[in-house]
Chains A and B, each alone.
Chain A
């Protein structure tokens, strides 16, 4: 067997390992993957069949917020499928006779947080995700429920305010995912002070930020000599540093933080 053959064998083993990993995640019900085609098909079907009662934004029924995954009854994906299929007679929701592929689409659209761009994402095991969070120093900058630093955004309710695809993107491509308000700003004041921090509010005349010593700072723009908004994120990318499974688990953990 030459070098070429060895390489092939290696690739074969790696592929098999990935296959086994995904099988095992799937077998545990923890490797839920949602693709663009399903999310977009779900969006279309939702608009035709569900929006009349649940509203365009999914918050039309008291106690239910579909994009935030707040349900009265459902918890798992199968619960969502069953609720749609069986209806909720007491609440006036009729049963819907959808094909399995249509149900998959609706589940994907709801799980995506109504992400109409249809960005694919994968959600894994939240409890392992917490271990990944702790092992990778996330708390050096972020804070969850009172633990960790404040230099990066507090994540205690991140699962309520961001879509899973956006969280996944933040982990693998933070420059493309950072919300503009969170950009780092570098300021030289008229009296010669240099201030670096994370922007938290801004208007025509003022800017508010939290500096690297975690002080809340508010400045009049008239007292600023130089004002730079840094376009790159201070967060490192975890693409290639964490496995896809670890990232999916981290997404699951972060999505579980509802505030």
Chain B
């Protein structure tokens, strides 16, 4: 009897103690590498390396990976979401704007929150959502109708909901927000609807707007002279992929989308800043510190909405803080992230819209005659697919589209609020007129377009030379992101549904499994109860793997 009482008392004491888990704050995210058991931001940390120090899964044992659990998507369409994992709980979105809290060990749900978008929501390229940000016990999600919603991480109940942009004008949010200090930052999509893009920061507790950075400078602001007349008012420059942050420099970096209307650069003469640029902002004020434009006066939809990857390395004999960037325009860049200075730029696929870059990294543009193909095609040499950088191998990994070209057509178009604002069109080059081609999303399980319109590859790039160290070819093109680990594994996939583990040093295939649906996100890794897991989404299924017991 006494033993039972003691047991009850001990159990009660345990219950009393168990609720005090450390909360996720910016300090923890800054030091995300110290807690590799979690995946705390879209890019796995503020530097967006997508490199994990977990090393339980190795080249020697990766072939014994087995499926531990799956979660089925309840809706159809490409599932581009990037899960977060915090202390054994996975937070995941599914399209259009559902949020789930899942036991990361078993796949069982704690809660499901469904947000009903306004019927005014419109997106050019799929009802996508790429994930969440977390601060304390609060999750943040942008919505297709351009709202930002704070959701309680324990209950799945909304805490606040604010309008970021007007969906009737084509504003939307598909990216995972980024939290730093006491602010949550988000950018807006809608570059195909004649929006004027911006990045905004909100108080994490209240949702009150702290600042807004317009990605197209207004009258009187530096850069406004890069636009003609009123073109700036509907010039696009959307922001639809999550940025990165350097806490030491206190700079946040965001990639900016294409100028609008998309296909007719003659209709908007000038460089069209800050479209197709990276901007470095002070996160406290939203003030611009520097910018670098990859594609001035873009007529090819070469969004610079790639994830800025930050690393410290020796550069020409000196320690340097760099930013690596494989751009949709087909060039790989290295920039000094302190100043924005151009350090290196090399084409990684066939390029004919420019003959090269000048000493400042500005492209020497060579527009092709009407009816002639432009390389890379309009989906780019790469796109928003998250890359990875391994400090162990010193290589930068990303997905590319090879041998893929587009013929562009320009037309004049007048802006009409909320309508597509494209001013022309395009045709992907194919071996026969009217043959199936490639574009956003795979069309189905039968590849009837074939590699004759383009094929994919996972590429390892040496940032010091801008040259490929190895190439792992895929028959179909790929939108998959990358994950590297401290055991020199690279996990990625592709549209064909294969999920791969490659040797990050050599590109050798170590393991693969056919998951049967397109992989349109970057795999993540985490650890629960001492076991390393890898999660990937293929088609309508999130699959979580670990080593065989």
Interface membership of chain A positions 163-182, coded 1 if the CB is closer than 8 angstroms to chain B and 0 otherwise: 10110010000001111110
Quick check: A181 and B448 within 8 Å, CB to CB? yes
Sorting the interface of chain A by its residue count into under 10, 10 to 19, 20 to 34 or 35 or more gives 20 to 34
Chain A residues within an 8 Å CB radius of B446: 181, 200-201
B475 touches A202 (CB 8 A): yes
Are the CB atoms of B435 and A179 closer together than 8 Å?
yes
Residues of A within 8 A of B420 (CB): 56
CB–CB B449/A181 < 8 A:
yes
Hey, what's the 0/1 contact readout for A182-224 against B, CB within 8 Å counting as 1?
Answer: 0000000000000000001111110000000000000000000
Given contacts A47-B411, A52-B419, A179-B448, contact A163 B432 (CB under 8 A): no
| A163 (CB) vs chain B CBs: closest residue | B434
On whether the beta carbons of B447 and A181 are closer than 8 Å, the reply is yes
CB proximity of B263 to chain A, nearest CB, Å: 12
Count class of interface residues, chain B:
20 to 34
Chain A residues within an 8 Å CB radius of B452: 180
B508-542: CB near A (< 8 Å → 1, else 0) gives 00001000000000000000000000000000000
**Is the C-beta of B174 less than 8 angstroms from some C-beta in chain A?**
no
Closest Cβ of chain A: how far from B322's Cβ, in Å? 33
- Chain B: CB-nearest residue to A201: B446
Segment 129-177 of A: residues with Cβ below 8 Å from B: 162-163, 165-166, 169, 176-177
- Given A116-B425, A116-B427, A201-B446, do A178 and B432 touch, yes or no (CB 8 Å)? yes
**How many Cβ-Cβ contacts under 8 Å join chain A to chain B?**
69
Task: Determine if B476 and A204 form an interchain contact, defined as CB atoms under 8 angstroms apart.
Answer: yes
**How many Å from the CB of B437 to the closest CB on chain A?**
10
| Contact status B432-A202, CB under 8 Å | no
Q: Are B434 and A115 within 8 A (Cβ)?
A: yes
How many Å lie between the Cα of A44 and that of B451 in the bound state? 31
Q: Which of B409, B419, B449 contacts A180 (CB 8 A)?
A: B449
Given contacts A47-B411, A162-B434, contact A204 B475 (CB under 8 A): yes
CA separation between A192 and B411, bound complex, in Å?
Answer: 56
In the complex the two chains form, is A179's CB within 8 Å of B498's CB? Answer: no
Q: How far is the CB of B497 from chain A (nearest CB, A)?
A: 8
CB distance from A249 to the nearest CB of B (A): 21
- Does B473 sit within 8 A of A, measured CB to CB? yes
Let me know if A64 is at the binding interface, CB within 8 A: no
**Does A86 reach chain B (CB closer than 8 Å)?**
no
Beta-carbon contact of B432 and A166 below 8 Å = yes
Bound CA–CA A119/B432 (angstroms): 12
Query: Is B419 a contact of A203 with CB atoms below 8 Å?
Result: no
Residues of chain B contacted by A202 (CB below 8 angstroms): 447, 450-451, 475
Q: Mark A95-121, 1 if CB is under 8 A from B, else 0.
A: 000000000000000000101110100
Q: Which residues of B contact A117 (CB under 8 A)?
A: 427, 433-434
Given contacts A47-B411, A180-B452, A204-B473, contact A169 B433 (CB under 8 A): yes
Pair B475/A180 contact, Cβ less than 8 Å: no
Q: Which residues of B contact A203 (CB under 8 A)?
A: 447, 475-476, 496, 498
User: Could you tell me the distance between the alpha carbons of A52 and B420 in the complex, rounded to whole angstroms?
Assistant: 9
**Which residues of chain B are near A204, meaning CB under 8 Å?**
473-476, 494, 496, 498
- What separation, in Å, do the CA atoms of A241 and B433 have in the docked complex? 23
Closest to B473 in A: A204
Chain B 410-456 interface residues, beta-carbon cutoff 8 Å to A:
411, 419-420, 425, 427, 430-436, 445-453
CA distance A181 to B447 in the complex (A): 8
The residue among A117, A119, A177, A203 with the most chain B CB atoms within 10 A of its own CB is A203
Q: Is A181 a contact partner of B498 (Cβ separation < 8 A)?
A: no
Residues in A neighbouring B494, C-beta threshold 8 A = 204
Which residues of the partner chain A approach B453 to less than 8 Å between Cβ atoms? 180
Q: Are A176 and B432 in contact (CB under 8 A)?
A: yes
**B432 and A177 within 8 A (CB):** yes
Residues 487-511 of B contacting A (Cβ, < 8 Å) = 494, 496, 498
Q: Which residues of A contact B476 (CB under 8 A)?
A: 203-204
Q: With A and B bound together, what is the CA distance between A204 and B473 in angstroms?
A: 8
Which residues of B sit under 8 angstroms from A179, Cβ to Cβ?
432, 435-436, 448
User: What are 5 A-B interface contacts by the 8 Å CB criterion?
Assistant: A165-B433, A169-B432, A179-B448, A180-B430, A203-B476
Contact surface of B with A, Cβ cutoff 8 Å:
409, 411, 419-420, 425, 427, 430-436, 445-453, 473-476, 494, 496, 498, 512
By Cβ-Cβ distance, the 3 closest A-B pairs, closest first, are A181-B448, A180-B450, A166-B434
